[in-house]
Amino acid sequence: MGIWALLSEPPWAMFLTQFDSPNQQQGLCFLPKITCNVRNVEVAKAWRLTSNSIELISFTVPRLKKEYFQDDIFVPTTDISQSVITQDQWLNGMKAIRKTVDLKPADMKCLSEVISSQNIVSTKNLISKKPISDAERRAAMLDNMFKSAKDEESAAESDKKTDDNEVAPDEWDN
């Protein structure tokens, strides 16, 4: 069983995490997003019913900087603490806008703020807007390999020119 993030632009979905178990399950009930531990980058929690037990399982996403609030994953979520409209209003056809709640703890900084202040490329920018073909990917890899090889070769040449401790071939013992 896996957890996917739905995106508003291509690629339309991104794999986040999965849960594997050798035991079969009879049922699964996901808890509201507000119950997740955002400090541990827990994206979902569920009660799992097996033939002889009920287990609480957790879905987490591996992240390097857990000390920051992962605002790319934890967007504002539906507030389920109170109803938006009454039963009578709903039966009369009234439409209501769902209220949302921010999951960010007050003592945590957002990862996007830290990334933008350090001028680091965010993971969203690493996803190409236009899918590239395998041939284009291979050509880019070869270009990068040739460029790095030329850089190493020119660095080695400059080291040879500036090395004053070089030994002449006739100075070697036979």
Residue type, 52: N
Q: Which of 7, 32, 34 is nearest to 101 (CA)?
A: 34
Residue type, 90: W
Rg (CA), the chain: 27
Q: What is residue 22's predicted lDDT score, i.e. its pLDDT?
A: 74
Q: What is residue 89's predicted lDDT score, i.e. its pLDDT?
A: 93
Q: Which of 49, 41, 47 is nearest to 16 (CA)?
A: 41
| Span 49-61, average pLDDT | 90
Distance CA 116, CA 122 (A): 8
Q: What is residue 129's predicted lDDT score, i.e. its pLDDT?
A: 47
pLDDT in tens, 96-109: 888 999 999 999 99
Helix ranges restricted to H, the chain:
87-91, 111-117, 123-126, 134-162
* Per-residue pLDDT at 77 exceeds 50: yes
Asked if 102 contacts 69 with a C-beta cutoff of 8 angstroms, the reply is no
Every domain of the chain and the residues it spans: 2-148
* Percent of the chain whose pLDDT exceeds 70: 75
Q: Which residue has the tokens 């070769």?
A: 153
Q: Is 103 helix (H, G, I), strand (E, B) or coil?
A: coil
Which segment of 28-37, 75-84, 111-120 scores lowest on mean pLDDT?
A: 111-120
Q: Is 111 helix (H, G, I), strand (E, B) or coil?
A: helix
